[in-house]
Amino acid sequence: MERIILTGDRPTGKLHLGHYVGSLQNRLKLQEEDNTKVFVMIADQQALTDNADNPEKVQQSLIEVALDYLAVGLDPKKTTIFIQSQIPQLPELTLYYLNLVTVARLQRNPTVKSEIQEKGFNESIPAGFFMYPVSQAADITAFKATHVPVGEDQKPMVEQTREVARDFNRTYKQDVLVEPDIILPPQGQGRLVGIDGKGKMSKSLNNGIYLSDSAEVIQKKVMSMYTDPNHIRVEDPGQVEGNVVFTYLDVFDDDKEKVQELKDQYRAGGLGDVKIKRYLNDVLQAKLQPIRERREAFAEDKDAVMEILREGSQKAEAVAAQTLDEVKDAMGINYFK
């Protein structure tokens, strides 16, 4: 049985190592699997739900996200990369699905509640933002996605998509829409902590290392990383747990024996923070240099990148159009077919 994957990102800035660990590496694996079709959406409409007064930010970020995708190895011949706003069937599906979802249900969505608080909307919640779980349901069901890779915090969104699909099929007595399954990150491969150690890596906290960062910027960020505040002298025993440098070494260094040796030495005393930061810098530079070089190469011809997005959007629209046609048939509103 063919698996259909739908995933994507909001274009509100360049992608960082948290994206790389949390989703991009997984997409690279999925695009190589047999009987698997992968759709990756640049969710510009969703980004506008809380950036309506700054469309330039979304426009500029769109090409940056596309460059990051291509730089890490997403292959347009294997993965359909498309722009959300270029698929007119998605807002039409959203409109139909809104009739199946109550305001109370949207208010109970834990992800929406959390993000409303995080963004400080209070009572001034943009309607587009409030209903974006239904928009996501349209995105997912339009491609009849069987699986949706998400982090733990996005589980309620996929659950609501499953509800929409189930309610639609029951209401119109036809199995048109697919209830997608959730793909969660492997244990220990969830959100990557920021370099300050205070929370997840994110654009809003300005605590990330970006795939496009120069070697000099990466080095500067690594040398500023949070370690063990009580590890004052080299000879002092240090704490590995909660130490961001070791967190990153666990994730990015393939030499696990070396990492364990460093941990043992750090705990015993005799290993300074500067030394382990320099080692981590070498590890990250080796990982990111080829990505950065590919990104720079693609950036030399942004028209070609936009052509990739145009072709991907055309492929995606054809699929969404077929689903919309089936939805309108089920609802009995394909009047002139």
Q: Which residues contact 15 (CB under 8 A, 6 or more apart)?
A: 9, 24, 64, 65, 68, 210, 211
Bridge-based pairing of strands 147-149 and 36-42 is: unpaired
- On whether the CB atoms of residues 164 and 154 are closer than 8 A, the answer is no
Q: Which of 186, 270, 150, 212 is nearest to 17 (CA)?
A: 212
Residue pLDDT, tens place only, 245-288: 999 999 999 999 999 999 999 999 999 999 999 999 999 999 99
Domain boundaries, the chain: 3-191+301-331, 215-297
Residue pLDDT, tens place only, 12-34: 989 999 899 888 999 999 999 99
Fold entry, domain 215-297: Tyrosyl-Transfer RNA Synthetase (1.10.240)
Q: Which of 72, 43, 40, 278 is nearest to 143 (CA)?
A: 40
Position 319 scores a pLDDT of 98
In DSSP terms, 149 is beta-bridged to 183
Position 5 scores a pLDDT of 97
What superfamily does domain 3-191+301-331 belong to in CATH? HUPs (3.40.50.620)
Residue pLDDT, tens place only, 64-81: 999 999 999 999 999 999
Return d(Cα 230, Cα 223) in angstroms, integer.
17
**Highest mean pLDDT (candidates 4-18, 227-241, 306-320):** 306-320
Global confidence as pTM:
0.92
Q: Which of 266, 294, 296 is nearest to 280 (CA)?
A: 266
Q: Which residues contact 73 (CB under 8 A, 6 or more apart)?
A: 28, 294
Confidence of residue 189 (pLDDT cuts 50, 70, 90): low
- On whether the CB atoms of residues 291 and 211 are closer than 8 A, the answer is yes
